[in-house]
Amino acid sequence: MIRLNIISTFLLLICVLTATAQKPATFLLDATLLQANKQRIAQGDKPLLTSKQALLAMADKALTKPVHSVVEKTKLPPSGDKHDYMSVGPYWWPDSTKPNGLPYIRKDGQINPERYAIQDGTYLNALCDDVQVLALAYYFSNDENYARRAADLLRVWFLNSDTRMNPNLNYGQAIPGITEGRGIGLIDTRMLAKLVDAVQLLKESKAWPQKDHVALQTWFRQFLTWMLTSPVGKDEEDEHNNHGTYYDFQTVAFALFLNDKPLAKQMLAQKTMKRIQSQLNEDGSQPHELARTLTWGYSLMNLKGFFGLAQLAEKVNIDLWNYETADGKSIRKAYTWMLPYAEGEKPWTFQQIKDLHREEFLPVKVVANWKYKRAGDIATASKPTGDTSLFTLTNSLF
């Protein structure tokens, strides 16, 4: 009897270790780090257990939120099809000198509240956040309820015929009186990169069968084709600031989701490396972002985009973390240029019409320390940074 109990305990231990040792197929979230943290949680790591509980609390809230779709808007897109995504340029306002306010005029950095009358963008951002939280909660808990909810959200937005979004962004960031949609509207969908990555965590769940995964891949193949070939998509591809960076961020992530590593590698080599050349100065400053009215926010946003691309590039054996152009430009220098400003060693003297939040740089610093100083040291890199947020478990900037 004692021997039988010992054997049963041993087999149970093997099952637990096998379950916690599973390495996910993510490409934006660091799979090795996720695996290591899941193992440490199983071993009783108290700070990570606290972080896991905070994550599950977030996921529990996501279980109760209403499910939204792109067809809920009351205003029809120019196509007449509510399945087409719509948004209005955030920094465009009625011209007070014109009787009807048209055409709208630009006030950089000042958001016109009219933008929120059409909630496609709000719903899409919430979808990306919730799917990531739910998928991570499923990974760290093995609770199918979280996977089931994530699957429901994905089906409503992308797959169900009565609620799905059409795979295009022809009417993104419209400007009343000027255009029905612009290439820079693609910045609205940048967090779809983290959504498709989170879906990778659902592949082992019964709630997300292979047929749904293939159907979602079909949607993103169509959307990626639209990005690469349509006039609107190609217009965004040609941008030389954060818009271009996040165009690459999306296309590379979608290519990896579709298991098209050659395309991902091509985009990084032919587009992203050229953006490092065109967007950065040799000292690491970002002239296109410093020309804005929110210079801190846009410089940080663009740096995060490049960091995200460097994470994706690891999956095709390209080292963007340490890549330098022939004249010495690099994302590493972009980071070190911002660092003394973030730490208060230098005053930020560039235009910033809203409050400057230096604490927003902390996650970037943690990731940079991980990649540049402690590469491979998972135990050190994943130590909590004083909070119990999702970042503690993932070191993800998105």
CA pair distance 242, 367, nearest whole angstrom: 20
Max CA distance (Å), the chain: 91
Q: Is 149 strand, coil or helix?
A: helix
Q: Rounded to whole angstroms, how far apart are CA atoms 299 and 289?
A: 5
Per-residue tokens: 306: 């490049």
Lookup result for tokens 């050229």? 274
Mean of pLDDT values over 249-266: 98
Taking alpha carbons only, the member of 121, 114, 25 closest to residue 68 is 121
The pLDDT tens digits of the residues spanning 350-380 come to 999 999 999 999 999 999 999 998 544 544 4
346 has a pLDDT exceeding 80? yes
Q: Hey, is 91 helix, strand or coil?
A: coil
Q: Give the residue carrying structure tokens 């279980």.
A: 63
- Whether the per-residue pLDDT at 246 is higher than 50: the answer is yes
The mean pLDDT value of the chain amounts to 92
- For 27-58, the pLDDT digits (tens) are 999 999 999 999 999 999 999 999 999 999 99
Q: What is the pTM of this model?
A: 0.92
- What is the per-residue pLDDT across 281-303, written as a single tens digit (0 to 9) for each? 999 999 999 999 999 999 999 99
Position 375: which residue type? A
% pLDDT > 70, the chain: 91
338-359 residues labelled b (16+ CB within 10 A) or e (exposed): bbebbeeeeeeebebeeeeeee
Distances in whole angstroms, Cα of residue 200 to Cα of each of 119, 136, 390: 27, 10, 17
- The dihedral sign for the CA sequence 30, 338, 305, 361: positive
Residue in the structure block whose two tokens are 């612009």: 182
Do residues 230 and 181 touch, judged by C-beta distance below 8 A? no
Domain ranges of the chain: 263-398
Q: How far apart are alpha carbons 31 and 395 in whole angstroms?
A: 11
Which amino acid makes up residue 305?
G
CA–CA separation, 110 vs 93, rounded Å? 9
C-alpha span between 210 and 199 (Å, rounded): 12
**263-398 CATH fold:** Glycosyltransferase (1.50.10)
Per-residue pLDDT tens over the stretch 65-102: 999 999 999 999 999 999 999 999 999 999 999 989 99
15 to 19, 59, 227: CA distances (angstroms):
6, 26, 44
* Rounded Cα–Cα distance for residues 70 and 87 (Å): 11
> Predicted confidence band at 106 (pLDDT cuts at 50, 70, 90)?
very high
Q: What is the mean pLDDT of residues 391-396?
A: 96
